[in-house]
Every structure is written in C-alpha cells, then in structure tokens.
Copies of this chain bind each other. A is one copy, B any other.
Amino acid sequence: MRQNAEAPDTASSQARPLSYTDLQNDSLGYAIKRAQVRTYEALFRILGPSALSPARMTALSIVATRPGVNQSELAEMLSITRAGVVKIVDALGSLGYVRRQSIPDDRRSYALRVTNSGLAELRRLNGLMQRHERQIAARITKAERRQLMGLLEKIATE
C-alpha cells in the first residue's frame, strides 16, 4: 500500500472540484501540443517502427544540406549538446548514412558527409514525409494551410 493511501479525510486534505475553465480549456499552448502529438502519431504510422527518429532524420537532413558541417555546429543547429550529437552521428554512421571525414586544417574536428546510401534513405523518407504532409493537411484548404503556417511562425518568433 502506498504511503499516502490512507491519509485522514481532514478538511486540509479535502477539496472540491475546479471548474473546467482551468488549464485545459481555451489554451493555445495546449492546442499546439495536442496537434503536435497527433501529427507525430500519424508520422510514426507512416514511417514505421524501424525508421530513424525525427531528431536523427533532421540531423541527416542537415548534414545533407550543409555538407562538411562539424559536430559542434550540428549540435548548435539541433539545439542539443555536443555529447548528444556524438550518439546521433554514431548511429547514423553505423547505419552507413553519414561519415566523419578527417580534415587537415583542424585535426580536432570532422567534416560530416552524407553517403550515397544516406542520400537514398533521405529521398525515401522525403517521399513518406510528403505523404504525411498531405495527410495532416487533408482537412484544411490550401489557403488555410498557408494561414496556419504563418500564424505558427508568429507564435514561434519570440
């Protein structure tokens, strides 16, 4: 039995219900979170269980678009620590999608490069992402989608 399972029913431990207007109602933050969770669920359904995690997909995508980037820069772009990037690059490396290229100029760091097989995987993922994008926007018009993106951008801008 839990420590607090049998607390006495005193006045100080008893409370009446809050109204529903609290914390979960008419909250923009909650609406954004809910939409994000739902779209991630849809994304996982499309990508399948063995796919790269979204964070690793993003990392792969960054290396593809910024060839030669080093791990510290990648950490900055992903907003995680350098230690975290080591694991991601290790994982992408052991899948054969990314490699660490030694550079003579600075022997402390590596130039990250996407391999051909990494590029192929990225293209495959891209196709799935396009399907996903179509799916999550299926219930809104093109104009609404443009509007939504604009508003979300305003929210994301500090």
In the complex, per-residue mask of A90-122: 1 if CB is within 8 Å of any chain B CB, else 0 = 100110001111100000001001111111001
In the complex the two chains form, what is the Cα distance from A115 to B132 in whole Å?
44
A72 interface residue per 8 A CB criterion: no
> 8 Å CB contacts to B: which residues of A29-58?
29, 31-40, 42-43, 54, 57-58
A83 interface residue per 8 A CB criterion: no
Residues of B within 8 A of A115 (CB): 12-15
State the Cβ distance, A4 to closest chain B Cβ, in Å. 4
Give this chain's copy count.
2
Are the CB atoms of B35 and A156 closer together than 8 Å? yes
Q: Which of B19, B129, B144 contacts A151, CB < 8 Å? A: B144
- Size of A's binding interface in residues, CB under 8 A: 85
Interface of A is mostly: helix
Chain B residue nearest in CB terms to A95: B4
In the complex the two chains form, what is the Cα distance from A19 to B136 in whole Å?
24
Chain B residue nearest in CB terms to A149: B31
Are the CB atoms of A99 and B65 closer together than 8 Å? no
Residues of B within 8 A of A94 (CB): 3-4
Are the CB atoms of A155 and B129 closer together than 8 Å? no
